[in-house]
């Protein structure tokens, strides 16, 4: 019973954002991976809030279409199994982070090394990823994108664990601050790196799979130096 429940918890990511024949193949591969505990890399992608509000067809008048399928395909191109869930509207950050944390522990329990698991969060997804890193001590890889500003610093008490990569663009007036504040508060982080973009797309750099953030994110997921 316990093992079957674990499988359900693990597959909630896979079942919610299946977006192409490649992703279906990845889901089948994930089933095999779960049972054998091999070293396939796993990426959990946490999307922005606009997807909660509008679904997969989300469109911003300022930033254009949120190209979720293209983002997932780009992240899967390196051979990782990509997990994603379409969150319901007004998802509470801490509650969902606890759900992600439980799924992480389930993957590790199945034999997937923590170093083969990467959490990539964009915008609100970055807040969820940051909260997950704060509550889960496992040495995962985290990529936080467009998820920091003065208000966020005042409202949260994060202390990160794992390998932390922060990607931001100063043109992002919503959450484009650097992560120096969090680096100082995270002595238990294994590594802490930042990438400053100059795309001049504001918060919209998160809406499409730009090489400027996809390539360093994939390098980080492979535990490579930037």
- Domain tally for the chain? 1
CB-based burial, 71-94: b 16+ in 10 Å, e otherwise: bbbbbbebebbbbbbebeeeeebe
- 226 falls within a domain: no
Highest averaged pLDDT of the listed ranges 33-47, 78-92, 174-188: 174-188
pLDDT, position 214: 98
- CATH code of 158's domain: 3.40.50.1820
Q: What is the mean pLDDT of residues 172-187?
A: 97
Q: What is the mean pLDDT of residues 120-132?
A: 98
Which structural domain range is residue 61 located in?
A: 2-33+40-221
pLDDT, position 146: 97
Q: Is the pLDDT of residue 35 over 90?
A: no
Give the predicted TM-score (pTM) of the model: 0.87
pLDDT, position 39: 75
Q: CA 136, 217, 149, 62 torsion: positive or negative?
A: negative
d(CA 2, CA 194): 40
Tokens 């005042």 sit on residue: 154
Q: What is the mean pLDDT of residues 88-108?
A: 95
d(CA 25, CA 13): 14
Q: Is the pLDDT of residue 29 over 80?
A: no
Q: How confident is the model at residue 123 (pLDDT cuts 50, 70, 90)?
A: very high
pLDDT, position 38: 60
- 77 falls within a domain: yes
Q: Is the pLDDT of residue 33 over 50?
A: no
- Percent pLDDT > 90 in the chain is 80
Strand pairing category for 141-145 and 117-122: parallel
- 53 falls within a domain: yes
Which of the 8 DSSP states describes residue 176? Answer: B
Q: How confident is the model at residue 128 (pLDDT cuts 50, 70, 90)?
A: very high
Q: What is the mean pLDDT of residues 77-83?
A: 90
Q: Is the pLDDT of residue 204 over 70?
A: yes
Structure confidence by residue, pLDDT tens digits, 60-72: 999 999 999 999 9
Backbone angles phi, psi at 141, to 5 degrees: -100, 135
Structure confidence by residue, pLDDT tens digits, 135-148: 999 999 999 999 99
Q: What is the mean pLDDT of residues 10-25?
A: 47
């Amino acid at each position: 019973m316990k093992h079957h429940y674990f499988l359900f918890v693990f597959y909630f990511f896979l079942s919610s954002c299946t977006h192409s024949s490649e992703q279906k193949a990845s889901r089948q591969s994930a089933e095999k991976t779960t049972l054998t505990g091999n070293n396939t890399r796993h990426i959990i992608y946490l999307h922005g809030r606009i997807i909660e509000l509008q679904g997969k067809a989300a469109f911003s008048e300022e930033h254009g279409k949120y190209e979720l399928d293209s983002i997932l395909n780009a992240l899967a191109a390196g051979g990782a199994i990509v997990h994603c869930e379409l969150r319901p509207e007004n998802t509470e950050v801490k509650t969902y982070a606890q759900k992600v944390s439980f799924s992480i522990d389930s993957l590790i329990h199945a034999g997937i090394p923590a170093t083969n698991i990467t959490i990539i969060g964009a915008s609100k997804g970055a807040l969820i990823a940051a909260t997950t890193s704060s509550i889960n001590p496992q040495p995962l890889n985290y990529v936080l994108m467009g998820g920091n500003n003065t208000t966020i610093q005042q409202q949260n008490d994060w202390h990160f664990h794992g390998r932390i990569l922060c990607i931001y663009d100063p043109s992002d007036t919503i959450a484009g601050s650097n992560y120096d504040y969090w680096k100082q508060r995270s002595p238990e982080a294994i590594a802490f790196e930042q990438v400053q973009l100059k795309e001049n797309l504001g918060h919209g750099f998160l809406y499409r799979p730009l090489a400027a953030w996809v390539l360093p994110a994939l390098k980080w997921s492979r535990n490579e130096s930037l």
